[in-house]
Structure formats: structure tokens, C-alpha cells
Structure 1
Amino acid sequence: MKETILLIALTLFMISIAILLYRVIAGPTLPDRAIALDTIGVNLISAIAIISIMLQTKAFLEAILILGILSFIGTIAFSKFIERGVIVERKGDS
């Protein structure tokens, strides 16, 4: 029963990622694309956690942490780009 529920959840996460990938490609605005990318990161973390539970291993915990950090940094960089037009400001740029 537990395996069936986990498999259904994993399937729903994969469907959600596919729908969000469409939103990244055909999103009407840049903030919509940024939110879709952030949500894809969260769904990937959840899917990896479900796979880790199904395989009964802790080997994927490092991948979850790294993906979470990279997703957070990517979201911050994308939001700075949307707000200012640049990600890293230099002293010579005005």
C-alpha cells in the first residue's frame, strides 16, 4: 500500500514538472518563468525524497541539499535580473 501511494505521488510530481516546463518555455512574462523554475526545483527535491524512501536509502540526502541550495541561488539570481537587468554589479558600471 505504501509503495503504491509513493508511486502515485512520484507520478503526480513528474506530471507537475512537465506542466511547469511548458510554463517555463511559453510563459507570458519573465516572473512567471522564474516562479515555474523555482517550483520545478521544489518538485525535483520532493521526487528525489520519494525515490529515497522507496529505495530505503539515505544516499540521496546530499543531492537533495545541493539541489535545494542551487535552486535557491538560481531564484535569487533570476529575481535580481528581473529587478535590475543585471545579476552582478561592478563598480565601473553605472
Structure 2
Amino acid sequence: MIAFALPFAIALMSLALLLNLYRLFRGPDAPDRILALDTLYINAIALIVLLGMSLSTRLYLEAALLIAVMGFVGTVALAKYLKRGSVIE
């Protein structure tokens, strides 16, 4: 059962990434695109962790942590830009 669960989860996360890319490019306005980008990096983190589990290596977990930090900073910067029009005051 576990041998089936990991590839199934990877396939579903890949599908979620594709749907997020669709919303990112097709979003009706800027807040929808920022939300799609935020969800995209969260799904990318989950996919990287799943790949690390399937390959039994810890290197992917470190990459997932780096993506999480950069994604958080990027989301805050985009939200600040959307609210005020500039990132640096």
C-alpha cells in the first residue's frame, strides 16, 4: 500500500502545480496571481519533500527549506508592492 501511495501523491502534487501555473498565467487580476504564486511554491515544497522521501535523501529537505524562506520573503514583498506601490520605503 505504501509503495502505491508515494507515486500517487507525487502525481497529484504535479497536477496541483500545473493547475497553479494555469491560474498564475490566466488569473483575472494581481491578487489572484500572487495567491497562485504563493500556492505554487507551497506545492513545490511538498513535491520536493515527496521526491526526497522516495529517493531516501536529506538533500531535498534542505532545498525545500530554502524555497520556503525565499517564497515567504517573495510573498511579503509582492503583497507590500500591491498595497503601497513600492517595496522599499
Normalising by the residue count of structure 1, what TM-score does the alignment of the two structures yield? 0.90
RMSD over equivalenced CA pairs, Å: 0.8
Q: CA deviation at 1:13?
A: 0.7
Aligned to 1:48: 48
Aligned to 1:6: 6
Aligned to 1:23: 23
Higher Cα Rg: structure 1 or 2? 1
| Structure 1 residue ranges, 4+ long, deviating more than 2 angstroms after superposition | none
Q: CA deviation at 1:3?
A: 2.6
Q: Which amino acid in 2 is paired with 1:16?
A: A
Aligned to 1:92: none
1:58 matched to 2:58: yes
Normalising by the residue count of structure 2, what TM-score does the alignment of the two structures yield? 0.95
5+ residue gaps, structure 2, are none
Q: CA deviation at 1:50?
A: 0.5
5+ residue gaps, structure 1, are 90-94
